[in-house]
Amino acid sequence: MDCLPYSGPEKKDILAETISRDVDGETQTGVSLTYSGGGTCISTGSPTSFTIKAWCNTDIKASDTIYTAEVMSQDPCHAYVELESSIGGCDLLSNSPIWVYLEKMEPYIGVIGIVGGFITCFYGMKLLRPCLFIAGLLSCCVAALLFCYAIYASSIDDFASTFYYFLGGGFIAGLLVGYLLARFIHVGAAVLAGWGGFCLGLILNQAFLFRFEYKWVFWTANVVCILVCAALTFKLFDETIIVATALSGAYFMVRGVSCYAGHYYNEFTMAKLLQEGAFDTIDPYYWCYVGGFVIFTFLGTYIQFRGRTKARKTHPYHN
């Protein structure tokens, strides 16, 4: 028996649309994919079509996706099937306004990330004070944007109108904080190590913790790594700073490259994907960044340890 194709060979034969329906008084959203331009239907003489309707239900894990494989339509010329899950029909890759506006600055952020990351990764210990200054500057900028998004901005329009004001305010405050961290080495080193701990948490999540599929695991790992690395600076100053700068530098280099090469998910999107168990849908090229992250971290750590002056038992900044 010959099979009847329900779609043409071109991408233009596939139509994606957002859909909605009423379920117990609440609106349920989803996505439909309609394949058209197929063979000629015998009963009508018109081209056939086939539609997949994916409904969003955040209470259903990806592994428990509801799909009966039952063709819902009585019309064989325009058949459709339905599925319901926390992936497929849910908007997992939407960005917050922070990432939307930062994407507009990617050409500039990319250069800063690659150059600054290279210097931090391989010369972080030798250029400790400049690295501490940068850590303070970045911390204030991030804190200002988070404050704007989480507390001040009640809508996307509010965020759009105040984004650059808060970013500028964070930059100015960061100049002062960066100076103070560079002036008071031990406090600054703890902050810098905290950034390295955050990057270590990202590596652990991307390497194997994502298999737990819980968002709280993502954040717990990052917070614990931040606190542990910051505390270690008071016991193992040289070693912690070298590893922290290698971690941070590797991360910024990878993020800088991603500004031009693409195929990278920001950390908040990754947390959402992990929560929904959708890691199988992640772009394969993304794992190249993870591999580069690990390689540059080990390479930066090795080079900095090799370049350390062995004759000195303590770092000159301790004095």
Q: Give 77-127 pLDDT, tens digit per residue.
A: 777 888 887 666 676 555 556 666 667 777 888 898 899 889 999 998 888
Cα gap 184→152, rounded to integer Å:
32
pLDDT at 189: 86
> For residue 156, what pLDDT band results from cuts at 50, 70 and 90?
low
Least confident of 118-132, 148-162, 174-188: 148-162
Q: Which two tokens stand for residue 67?
A: 């799909």
In the structure encoding, which two tokens stand for residue 207, read together?
């390497």
Burial class, 46, CB count within 10 angstroms (exposed 0-12 / middle 13-18 / buried 19+): exposed
SS (H, E, C) 170-234: HHHHHHHHHHHHHHCHHHHHHHHHHHHHHHHHHHHHHHCHHHHCCHHHHHHHHHHHHHHHHHHCC
Taking the whole predicted model, whether its pTM rises above 0.95 is answered as: no
pLDDT at 59: 74
CA pair distance 22, 87, nearest whole angstrom: 19
134-144 as b/e: b if 16+ CB within 10 A: bbbbbbbbeeb
CATH of 11-85, one of 3.40.50.2000, 2.70.130.10, 3.40.50.410, 1.10.10.10: 2.70.130.10
Q: In Å, what is the CA distance from 2 to each residue of 5, 39, 43, 48?
A: 10, 11, 16, 15
Q: What gap in Å lies between CA 125 and CA 228, rounded to an integer?
A: 19
Please state the rounded mean pLDDT for residues 250-268.
84
Q: Which segment, 26-35, 43-52, 291-300, is predicted with the most confidence on average? A: 291-300
CB 82 within 8 A of CB 53: yes
Domain ranges of the chain: 11-85, 97-318
251 and 202 Cβ atoms separated by less than 8 Å: yes
> Residue 1 — very low, low, confident or very high, per pLDDT cuts 50/70/90?
very low
